[in-house]
Amino acid sequence: MKKSLLAILPFLGACAGQPPSNIGVQNGQLTACPDSPNCVSSFETSEQHGIAPLAANLEQVERVLVGMEAANIVDAQENYLYAEFTSALMGYVDDVEFLHDSAAGVTHVRSASRLGYSDLGANRKRIEAIRAAIR
């Protein structure tokens, strides 16, 4: 068992993938989700990709993220926060963004897998867990 685990360790880093170049705020919104079902965003309206924004400010979101073991805050600005979430077993990385809209009093979200096609609902579950922790 130990020998087989050591044999796959070099390949686990490959699950992280490269950070996307198309994330961030574009025309006042977060980047649209791809066609694959491994992304949710509060700027999307389809059943597959759409999710409600958070009724929170970025300070509240950041407090929750700091308490989440898999989260790593990469960038924090006045109205934007970007974090990477790494899965414990395989080291897959998901990119999660938050954009605060002070006029509406909400924080928009986008959570997307870097690799693969399906995430088995992991990105949606993550955002809902963050929403529950804020309450």
What does the pLDDT look like over 103-134, one tens digit per residue?
999 999 999 999 889 889 999 999 999 999 99
Does the residue 42 lie in any domain? yes
The answer to whether residue 13 is domain-embedded is no
pLDDT tens-digit map of 15-52: 567 878 888 999 999 999 999 999 999 999 999 999 99
User: Which CATH number is 84's domain given?
Assistant: 3.30.310
Number of C-beta neighbours around residue 90 at 10 A: 14
Given a cut of 80, whether residue 9 has pLDDT beyond it is no
pLDDT for res 99: 98
Does residue 3 fall inside a structural domain? no
Containing structural domain, residue 104: 21-134
- At residue 91, the pLDDT reads 87
The pTM for the full model equals 0.86
pLDDT at residue 13 greater than cutoff 90: no
What pLDDT is recorded for position 89? 81
Degrees to nearest 5, angle at CA 120 with 83 and 36:
75
Residue 54 lies in a domain: yes
Query: What's residue 16's pLDDT?
Result: 66
Q: Which of 12-16, 36-40, 53-57, 78-82 has the lowest mean pLDDT?
A: 12-16
Above 60 in pLDDT, residue 3? no
Residue 60, domain member (yes or no): yes
Q: Is residue 69 part of a domain?
A: yes
Does residue 128 form part of some domain? yes
The domain tally of the chain equals 1
Query: Does the pLDDT value for residue 96 go beyond 80?
Result: yes
Residue 103 domain-assigned (yes or no):
yes
CA-to-CA dists, residue 71 to 14, 24, 79, 102, 119, angstroms: 19, 18, 19, 24, 17
What confidence score (pLDDT) does residue 15 get? Answer: 57
